[in-house]
Amino acid sequence: MNPLVNPDGPLLGVNIDHVATLRNARGGSFPDPVQLAHEAVQGGADIVTFHLREDRRHIHDADVDRLKQSIGVPLNFESAVTDEMLEIIERVRPEMVCLVPERRQEITTEGGLDVAGQAERVADACSRLARAGCRVSLFIEPGARQIEASARTGAPCVELHTGAWANAVDRGDTVRADMEGVRLREALALAHRLGLQTNAGHGLGLGSTGPVAAMGGVLELHIGHAIVGHALSVGMTQAVRDFKACIRRAIASSSGRPA
């Protein structure tokens, strides 16, 4: 079996950042992102994802320590490429790290990491984190320049930014969605030729998750805002189950197997 292809479809990483955003809006400890991470695992989350930002706008350092101590599935630590964050990761030693761009003024992470423009710095970070026992992925735009640069850094994985695809689907812009779908498929094919595990995420909802899962070659989907938003209606455990079911249906439909 090709290790870069999972016939059962991608694993689901649930990003809990926006639980912390809601908590921080009022201060205190409720809702607790660690408790909601446990509920996500109960619903079938394969990975728990979080982004410790330099400004600590949602996840806090104490949250990271509690997640490490209590969550039984792999943790995916999203991080800017800074000495402060690399030192924290070396202490925490999460199973996975995703290096992302970060700007103070942005609402959420916008655009991919410019690996090609800072190749030496990213390669040094990848080497440093590999020595800490972390599997590193790079959050990038689905284009040849960034994929090829990522392969040269020594990172074993990339995570393709799906925001443009998801926005087009949400708007009902079928022309743009088709264009972005082609771009994602071409990026997946190139990444696989270069030996990179390929994950995907950003902006995905119930309407856009299935088609990405069915593209083939996506090993992990990392989804946060849409799952947390859906959880406001149905609870976190059921929200994760709904997204997992969406992935299963897409894989079954693409393979001709029963869901």
Q: Which residues are catalytic?
A: 51, 78, 202
**What tokens appear for 30 in the block?**
């409720």
Return the SS3 of 242. helix
Long-range CB pairs of 24-30 (<8 Å, 24+ gap) are 24/57, 24/58
Other CB atoms within 10 A of residue 123 CB: 17
CA distance 80 to 133: 18
DSSP character string of 182-224: HHHHHHHHHHHHTT-EEEEESS--HHHHHHHHTTS---EEEE-
- Say how many C-beta atoms besides its own lie within 10 A of residue 76's C-beta: 27
